[in-house]
Amino acid sequence: MKQKTDTIVARFKNFLNEVVLEMKRSSWPERKTLVSHTIIVIVSVCMLGVFVGISDKILATLLRWLVPQG
């Protein structure tokens, strides 16, 4: 059992080393670009949430009107 555990530990260490190497090779955007893209994503998600919420209210109202509960 110990041999299998050593293999798993060695594989995990190798994986972490490869992750560190890959992170060093990656190109990172400038802070200004990162901030502006983050703001765009947050605003887009909020707008989509509002759209889905309004659509849900409209469709729920239409459904209640078409299928009265009683």
What is the SS3 assignment for the chain?
CHHHHHHHHHHHHHHHHHHHHHHHHCCCCCHHHHHHHHHHHHHHHHHHHHHHHHHHHHHHHHHHHHCCCC
- Mean pLDDT, residues 51-68: 95
pTM: 0.60
Q: The domain containing residue 18 runs over which residues?
A: 2-66
For the segment 10-33, what is each residue's pLDDT rounded down to a tens digit? 999 999 999 999 999 989 899 999
Number of structural domains, the chain?
1
User: What is the model's pLDDT at position 60?
Assistant: 95
pLDDT tops 70 at residue 9: yes
Mean pLDDT of the chain: 91
